Structure 1
Amino acid sequence: MQPGDRGPALGDLKVVEFGGYAAGPQVGKIMANYGASVVHLESADRPDGFRLQYPPYPDNRPGLNRSGCFALFNDSKLGVTVDVKRPAGLELARRLVDWADVVVENMRPGVMARLGLGYESFADSNPRLVMLSTCNMGQTGPRAKMPGFGTMLSALAGFCGLTGEPDGPPMLLYGPYIDFIAALFGLSAVLAALERRRRSGRGAMIDLAQYETGLLFLAGPLLAHQGGEPALGRSGNRDALAAPHGTFVSADGRWLALSCWSDREFAALAAAMGEASAAQDERFQNAESRRRHGAELEALVAAWCAVRPAENIVAALREAAVLVYPVNDMRDLFHDEQIRASGTWQQRPHAEMGDIACYLPAMALSTTPGAVGGSAPLLGQHNHHVFTELLGLSEEEIQAYQAAGVFGDGVRLSA
């Protein structure tokens, strides 16, 4: 470390994760990227579901250590295997929790307590512990024990009901959208609890309902309905204020998203298209009339875009100060100049997948920047390191736990 360097923002923090998939591990990943020592605990018999249940896999060959999803959510962590359903495994897991500052879990409500790992059970051995429980509905309520994934939560929380054409069905969002919202809420709550602990010496139990976190993003429609307006419905790409507001395809097949939020912006768009008189057309002379004649307006813009390459459209409209961006696909995101400049993608070697692109969170801290410490762990990769160097177990203790079946058959134990 250079003189004046402060080290990673969370460099002294010790975290243990129980669970899998996205919502819990994403919280741990962010902490790991800012220097925390994060131990991702799995069972060799029941590993994190992302390892085998979700593509992509290199060359379409699934494997415990070949999951792109697992790699994305678990870089920079230490990976261990402990069978907590065995008495010796539970004992070892509890020793790990006693070592930790923070526990993150996203199992079903009540599972941690039934296993003997509930927050209250550590009141004496680790009273400064901060535990984050993040599951679909939280720990209480009439639907608390109902299982599900992020797609279903997005539907339940109202997002899907607002997505799609007015005369079409609700559209499911891509991916577990609410998981990512909940992860940032969870991270904020953990950091707040750690600050409280610094002042008071007391830990905290945080019950985060992923379902409820999604409601914040519907604050406008919720408040409008509470004020007596009809429930907001689907409107395709059209907006209550902007017109035009949609996506249009170029001559070279690229889609572009553009919008005009004022009469001045629409006049600039019309001039850039060589249709300056359209801004005086009674159908388009103000936002209300443009929305009322949306189909005609969209046809005008679509016809102009259809005979020009995307690069020319973007250049012309940006010169006119019209808001326009290309609709990127996955290939584009790996080559986007803004993302490249920010260092979002960080290449790291992986023992079974080769070099992979790892994602660095978008929070750029000035004096304590984050980094991807390494690629996601192989199953049980850090058993020996965690239990001997971090927990201080002797080789005899390690062998006893292995003989008791704690680590699982064939799981790595060497240093």
Structure 2
Amino acid sequence: MTTQRTPPLTGVTVLELGSFMAAPFAAMQLADLGAEVIKVEHPAGGDPVRQTGPFLGTESSPFVRINRHKRSVALDLKSPDARPAFLRLVERADVLIENLRPGAMRRLGLGYEDLREINPRLVYASASGWGQDGPLANLPGLDIMAQARSGLMSITGHPGGPPAKVGVPICDLVCGLYLALAVTAALRERDRSGAGQYIDVSLFEAGASFAVWEAGKYFATGEVGGPLGSAHQSNAPYQAVHSSDGYVTIGATTPRNWQAFCEVLGLTRLLDDPHCADAFSRLQNRAELIETIETVTSTLSTAEIVDRLNKAGVPCAPIADYGEVFTDEHLTARDFFWDAQHPTLGPVRQLGSPMRLSETPVQRAAAGPVLGADTREVLLAAGCTAAEIDHLAASGAALTMNADGAATTSPAAAITPRR
């Protein structure tokens, strides 16, 4: 019988100076994998996502999900009083992740060159809109700008329609995933060399990296892709088609699937049609092909089409809204959703991690922390004295919590971090 071991990154300590999405999402991946993530936030308000609704009591519902498994230390890094405490955290850290505007950490004297003098084993990872150098580096960069410049918005939506972005902040999220992947690679390299290194990941390049089909076309032919609605760039039929009660997605792209698709829908005449003889021919004649297919699918319900095609082994799926996704039978059977405990909210439903490791599974523990909940405990463990922590709290350079969970200080107005 296999003994379940601790998550794979247990023993790794991560400092996160993150706001909004990319750095917090990256740190969440590492926390799921067992790393101790210490989220360093400004005492006056913390991560701006804390002010983003909807709210559960006084807590942000998005925040307690994207910041699960983390500990909150509230320090004002612009305060000279807080600097020694933060550097003590750096001395003991394996990783630092930040997504402030390029140059912001250097101006605080906390750039990579500064911190590696204190901890040469530190893996220092920065996420930004455009990267740490280049002509765009100093511009503010949000997900939609990265989607725009990376080409994603040029191929999203329907031909002739207005600009559309991907429905989720895809550049933010994938930048976070690349950041987490790079961190794990750098930790592996540190096992060999003993030295940390610097990591630079941008939303812009994360978005541009998706252009696999578009690059294959452009670098081969010079052709620039455009929006295709739900249709695939290089295959047909591979898109959403009308049913009698909505739409259904189909993907009959291999010879076997194409034959089964035609047989199930009573379109066997297409098997002998030279305009549909192979994948390239079907792509060239896509408009006429889809019109023919929809003469049949529009007479059948989505459920009927899915049932018939599933039985024939042809890829297909209904288009689910998130109310259906979050109650999905398959995801529920695979135990994807779970409840994280929060000190004031109780159980908080979570999206599961897609990473399923057989021997060292991801952890399922706490929801995102209350601001400053761990300041005192973490700083004491880092070597600060109780008197030093009390001084930081009294000066407003730190936020600490009483035993009953109440803040010991009332810092001035919040300072919103900038990317």
Does structure 1 residue 112 correspond to structure 2 residue 101?
no
Aligned residue for 1:108, secondary structure, equals: coil
Amino acid at match of 1:172: K
- CA deviation after TM superposition for structure 1 residue 16, in Å: 0.6
Does structure 1 residue 31 correspond to structure 2 residue 25?
no
Aligned residue for 2:391, secondary structure, equals: helix
Per the alignment, residue 332 of structure 2 pairs with 340
Aligned residue for 1:401, secondary structure, equals: helix
Amino acid at match of 1:338: H
Does structure 1 residue 404 correspond to structure 2 residue 395?
yes
Cα distance, 1:362–1:46 mapped onto 2, change above 3 Å: same
Amino acid at match of 1:8: P
d(CA) in 2 for partners of 1:298 and 1:223?
25
Does structure 1 residue 147 correspond to structure 2 residue 140?
yes
Per the alignment, residue 189 of structure 2 pairs with 196
- CA deviation after TM superposition for structure 1 residue 252, in Å: 4.4
Cα distance, 1:129–1:317 mapped onto 2, change above 3 Å: same
**What is the aligned counterpart of 1:385 among 373, 377, 380?**
377
Matches within 5 A, 1:179-258: 179-253=172-246, 255-258=247-250
Residue by residue over 1:321-379, the C-alpha shift from the partner in whole angstroms, topping out at 9 and shown as x without a partner, is 22101212112222223322333221123345443222232121121110222111111
Q: Are the equivalent residues in 1 in contact too, given 2:43–2:396 (CA < 8 A)?
A: no
Structure 1 window deviating more from structure 2 (305-314 vs 8-17): it is 305-314
Q: Are the equivalent residues in 2 in contact too, given 1:33–1:360 (CA < 8 A)?
A: no
Aligned residue for 1:17, secondary structure, equals: strand
Unpaired stretches in structure 1, ≥5 consecutive residues: none
d(CA) in 1 for partners of 2:182 and 2:324?
34
Per the alignment, residue 43 of structure 2 pairs with 44
d(CA) in 2 for partners of 1:146 and 1:119?
21
- CA deviation after TM superposition for structure 1 residue 249, in Å: 4.3
Aligned residue for 2:97, secondary structure, equals: strand
d(CA) in 2 for partners of 1:104 and 1:231?
36
Cα distance, 1:367–1:286 mapped onto 2, change above 3 Å: closer
Residue by residue over 1:37-76, the C-alpha shift from the partner in whole angstroms, topping out at 9 and shown as x without a partner, is 1011111224212121x44435xx8x4x2232x2232101
**What is the aligned counterpart of 1:101 among 78, 94, 98?**
94
**What is the aligned counterpart of 2:164 among 164, 171, 180?**
171
d(CA) in 2 for partners of 1:131 and 1:395?
29
Q: Number of residue pairs matched?
A: 404
Residue by residue over 1:157-177, the C-alpha shift from the partner in whole angstroms, topping out at 9 and shown as x without a partner, is 111111122222332111221
d(CA) in 2 for partners of 1:259 and 1:120?
51
Amino acid at match of 1:315: D
Per the alignment, residue 67 of structure 1 pairs with 61
Does structure 1 residue 85 correspond to structure 2 residue 84?
no
Q: Are the equivalent residues in 2 in contact too, given 1:250–1:309 (CA < 8 A)?
A: yes
d(CA) in 2 for partners of 1:88 and 1:106?
23
Cα distance, 1:95–1:333 mapped onto 2, change above 3 Å: same
d(CA) in 2 for partners of 1:121 and 1:212?
26
d(CA) in 1 for partners of 2:307 and 2:38?
48
d(CA) in 2 for partners of 1:316 and 1:114?
62
Q: How does the TM-score come out when normalised to structure 2? A: 0.88
Cα distance, 1:14–1:313 mapped onto 2, change above 3 Å: same
d(CA) in 2 for partners of 1:298 and 1:228?
26
Per the alignment, residue 19 of structure 1 pairs with 18
d(CA) in 2 for partners of 1:77 and 1:45?
19
Aligned residue for 2:165, secondary structure, equals: coil
Amino acid at match of 2:373: Q
Per the alignment, residue 265 of structure 2 pairs with 273
- CA deviation after TM superposition for structure 1 residue 384, in Å: 2.4
d(CA) in 2 for partners of 1:181 and 1:89?
32
Percent identity between the two aligned chains = 31
Q: Are the equivalent residues in 1 in contact too, given 2:248–2:317 (CA < 8 A)?
A: yes
- CA deviation after TM superposition for structure 1 residue 203, in Å: 1.5
Amino acid at match of 2:131: G
Structure 1 window deviating more from structure 2 (358-367 vs 25-34): it is 358-367
Cα distance, 1:249–1:51 mapped onto 2, change above 3 Å: farther
d(CA) in 1 for partners of 2:272 and 2:54?
52
Superposed CA RMSD? 2.5
**What is the aligned counterpart of 1:57 among 55, 58, 62?**
55
**What is the aligned counterpart of 1:260 among 226, 246, 252?**
252
Structure 1 window deviating more from structure 2 (310-319 vs 136-145): it is 310-319
Structure 1 window deviating more from structure 2 (35-44 vs 269-278): it is 269-278
Query: Quick one: higher RCO (CA 8 Å, sep 6+), 1 or 2?
Result: 2
Unpaired stretches in structure 2, ≥5 consecutive residues: 406-419
d(CA) in 1 for partners of 2:89 and 2:241?
54
Amino acid at match of 2:393: Q
Aligned residue for 1:121, secondary structure, equals: helix
Q: Are the equivalent residues in 2 in contact too, given 1:150–1:175 (CA < 8 A)?
A: no
- CA deviation after TM superposition for structure 1 residue 106, in Å: 0.5
Does structure 1 residue 317 correspond to structure 2 residue 309?
yes
Per the alignment, residue 349 of structure 2 pairs with 357
Residue by residue over 1:69-101, the C-alpha shift from the partner in whole angstroms, topping out at 9 and shown as x without a partner, is x22321011112111111112222222222211
Residue by residue over 1:284-334, the C-alpha shift from the partner in whole angstroms, topping out at 9 and shown as x without a partner, is 455455445534433343343334333322110112222101212112222
Amino acid at match of 2:95: V
d(CA) in 2 for partners of 1:33 and 1:399?
32
d(CA) in 1 for partners of 2:24 and 2:30?
10
Q: Are the equivalent residues in 2 in contact too, given 1:66–1:353 (CA < 8 A)?
A: no
